[in-house]
Amino acid sequence: MLLVLAEDLWWVGDMGRSGIRDIVGLIDRLEMDGDVESLSIYTLGPDYRALLIAVDGIKPGPSDSIMTELPHIKAWRNTYKAFGAKPQKTRNSLEALTRRAEAGLPRVNRLTDIYNAISVKHQIPLGGEDLNKYVGPPRLISATGVEDFETSIGGEVVVEHPDFGEVVWCDDAGVTCRRWNWRQGPRTALTDATTSALFILDVLEPVSESVLAAAADELASALRKSSPELPVVQRVLHGPERS
């Protein structure tokens, strides 16, 4: 099962020069993908929702100045197990950040610092991508295992491949984030120079729609502190049972 953020409804290319345009919606279009038909995204996580936020015209710049039983962390651990991932080895982004929060969250760049803080505060996995580095539309798929994932090990660029059935975000050039929200790749990473971005908020039960909306509102508000007129567009993707 392939979840596509339909290309005809989502303007990705040329955002930095022309701004957000032609964004008339984000919908989930489901298509069968042969070998992974039985590994439907919504079979693994029936209550899964993704809130996507696109922004353009960001003012670039550097940074400004019992764990496993937490409800949303526990839900993500169980969902990871559903597609064969070991949550003790590959922690979802929310759990990894929450474990580091007491000692202080890592400082990366302004945009990443903002979404990391909101992720921990609202207990929601949250990732950010540079839209100008995307090749084609973002897609959430059950991997076949042949997709390329470009990463870095010891300073060297290496290409890995996801496991069969692993849930990944990707574009036409390859995987952008492995295991739903475990590890993002450097190719589409946010930097100090990013001006157009896509933020993905992943949620499962017991997170309510109001909590998801509050996190999205806080993210938009934080982004607009340095760019008050920043255009922000958001859509929620969900399974058919939540229609």
- Rounded Cα distance, 79 and 167, in Å: 10
- Say if residue 80's pLDDT is above 60: yes
Average pLDDT (208-231) is 88
pTM of the model: 0.72
| Predicted local confidence at residue 63, as pLDDT | 66
Tokens 């019992």 sit on residue = 66
Rounded CA-CA distance 125/116 in Å is 9
Between 216 and 54, the higher pLDDT residue: 216
Which residues does residue 53 pair with via DSSP β-bridges, in sequence order? 199, 234
CA distances from 47 to 3, 61, 65, 75, 205 (A): 15, 37, 37, 10, 6
DSSP for residue 9? G
Phi, psi for residue 6 in degrees, rounded to 5: -50, 125
DSSP conformation letters of 185-201: -GGG---TT--EEEEEE
Residue 185 lies in domain: 2-242
Q: Which of 237, 236, 224, 219 lies closest to 114 in space, CA to CA? A: 219
Question: 113 with 194: CB under 8 angstroms?
Answer: no
Helix ranges restricted to H, 83-140:
93-101, 110-122
How many Cβ atoms from other residues are within 10 Å of residue 89's Cβ?
A: 8
Where residue 101 sits, what CATH number does that domain have? Answer: 3.50.40.10
Count the domains in the chain: 1
Residue 57: predicted pLDDT: 84
Question: What's the Cα-to-Cα distance from 110 to each of 55, 61, 65, 106, 174, rounded to whole Å?
Answer: 14, 7, 9, 11, 26
- Token couple for 212: 């998801």
Q: What is the pLDDT of residues 10-62, one digit of tens each?
A: 333 333 333 333 332 332 332 323 333 334 677 777 888 888 888 888 888 77
CA 124 – CA 126 distance, rounded (Å):
6
CB neighbourhood size of 157 (10 A):
10
Q: Over the stretch 128-168, which tens digit does the pLDDT of each residue have?
A: 999 889 888 888 888 999 999 999 888 888 999 999 988 89
Report angle CA 48, 121, 94 to the nearest 5 degrees: 50
Instruction: Tell me phi and psi for residue 20, to 5 degrees.
Output: -70, 125
Cis, bond preceding 206 (omega within 30 deg of 0)? yes
Q: Which residue has the tokens 């496991």?
A: 163
Q: Which amino acid is at 20?
A: I
